[in-house]
Homo-oligomer: A and B are copies of this chain.
Amino acid sequence: MRRSSIIGIVVLCLVFGIAYSLYIPVYAGQDRVVKVSDQTKACIGCHSMVTPGIVSDWENSSHAKITPQEARQKPSIKRMVSSENIPQALSTVAVGCYECHGLNKKRHKDNFPHNGFDINVVVSPNDCATCHSEEAREYSNSKKAHAVKNLIANPVYHQLVDASLGIMDYKGGKITSSKPTEKTKHETCLGCHGTKVEVKGMKTLKTSMGDMKVPELTNWPNASVGRENPDGSLGSCSSCHPRHSFSMEIARKPYTCAQCHLDPDVPAWNVYKESKHGNIYFSKWHEWDLKSPDWTIGRDFKAPTCATCHNSQVLSSDGQLVARRTHDFGSRLWVRLFGLIYSHPQPVSGNTTILKNKEGLPLPTSLTGEMAPQGLISAEEQGRRLKEMKQICQSCHSTEWVAGHFLKLDNTIKETNAMTLTATKLMLDVWKAGLEGQTNLFDETIERMWVRQWLFYANSIRYASAMTGAPDYATFKNGWWSMTETMQQMNDWYKLKEKTGKK
């Protein structure tokens, strides 16, 4: 960038910075003014012109409306700021651009000089921990935080990625497959799991403010749950609290979880939509309060969203705590319903690459369904968590109702695991007969039918069971009908190949 452009930009920013410093934000519904730091004023000076959407989003956020110091003074049940020792300089101003993008500069390999300030491109959970330390700590132990590694660094499981996404060619009557590209992994599996964001160097961008030197990042943009950040931390709070709104309301609404928990492999959202709970939510949300920090059953909402059962602090109408807020997303769950071959007890650690099944592979079960001897939570811990979950259900349902519900789920897990074992036994025979190879467990005809059995159909049935709704997801929509039909097709294919030979 030429010196003159830099001077031009700095002058522009100064002009807007001054303009902004005269600007007194008076927010809708309140006449209080929150002090904004000089650095943030300078940011807004330019960015209210170049990226007005971001600035407007922030202006409507809690971060613009209350200082951390004031937020700390709220009663604990309404307090959203868990850190006790917030640096003084940050504590008494609005949480603005610079307060977040200027933190922990030394850890940030993506820090770069930007119009006179040292700015991090990526704000990470470790930065948010300045005020939200408890949330960041909980999150760091969740499977979400480890979502990239759990998929890609698993020597078995990453084969599924290769089999699904590899570009194929056809030559001389033969199909060949290459390894998937980074960009395609980024838009598919890693679109939810997250990508590794690293600094490759600097590059010059042409912007509306002239040429700018910025860090060149790998696999960017990505705001997914397991993102590996340039400061070494894991995750992206923005996945659920999108961008500069930092909204709790959005995270509590089911559309957020729907970004990734979709059919056919994780049909949580699809099942919720068609469940009784979903029906009541979609019919009545406009009369509820999804913003209230002390979220109270009956007063603020009358049917659960995803967050109610899995994450949020929930109170009963007499102010008693029904469930403690948690950002360790599996921590209220006793079984893991999806994502692997058999349903199994939740893993102890969010890092599942440390599991070992009886064949020595990093999987929670063996191919024939035996649980890994270590690394999964105990029956006692399962009982404790189930009891905690029941507590939430019982705010609206009788003890017997709830007991009956979970007995059905136990049975569903047992039966779907049995159906997966049946498919596995047939596949083992196919392998033994030499009709398919075992180099990649997921890439040939019978193997793909086997994958659909557990990844699509068994999962759908278990979700429909767990969320007591959407019986069609347990029956005809990727449910039992598909599972028994595919089982028959597997058998048909096997018998045919026995007659006609491998190729």
Contact = CB atoms under 8 A, between A and B. Distances in A.
A23 to B, nearest CB: 12
B302 A279 contact: no
Interface stretch (A1-9, A62-70, A178-186): A178-186
Nearest to A465: B187
A295 interface: no
Contact of A499 (B186, B444, B500): B500
A59 to B, nearest CB: 8
Contact of A425 (B56, B170, B500): B170
A99 interface: no
Given A183-B411, A263-B472, A266-B472, 13 more contacts: A53-B395, A53-B396, A56-B299, A183-B407, A184-B411, A188-B480, A191-B471, A191-B474, A205-B403, A221-B397, A243-B396, A262-B274, A265-B475
A357 interface: no
Contacts of A191: 464, 471, 474-475
A487 B168 contact: yes
* This chain: copies in complex: 3
Interface of A: 48-57, 60, 121, 163-171, 173, 175, 177, 181, 183-184, 186-192, 205-208, 212, 214, 217, 220-221, 223, 242-243, 245, 247, 249-250, 253, 255-256, 258-260, 262-266, 269, 273-276, 278-280, 282-284, 286, 297-299, 302, 316-318, 394-401, 403-405, 407-408, 411-412, 415, 418-419, 422-423, 425-426, 429, 443-445, 448, 455-456, 461, 464-465, 468-472, 474-477, 479-481, 484-485, 487-489, 491-492, 495-496, 499-501, 503
Contacts of A479: 188
Given A165-B484, A170-B425, A183 B412 contact: yes
Contacts of A163: 484
A259 B276 contact: yes
Given A187-B471, A263-B477, A274-B262, A253 B283 contact: yes
Nearest to A174: B491
A221 B401 contact: yes
Contacts of A472: 192, 260, 262-266
A318 B52 contact: yes
Nearest to A402: B221
A290 B51 CA distance: 21
- Give the 5 A-B residue pairs with the shortest CB-CB distance, closest first: A56-B298, A191-B471, A53-B396, A188-B475, A255-B279
29 contacts: A51-B398, A52-B297, A52-B298, A52-B317, A56-B317, A167-B419, A168-B487, A170-B429, A175-B491, A183-B408, A184-B412, A186-B408, A187-B465, A187-B474, A188-B475, A188-B480, A189-B471, A192-B472, A205-B400, A208-B394, A245-B280, A247-B284, A250-B283, A255-B279, A259-B470, A262-B477, A263-B477, A265-B475, A499-B501
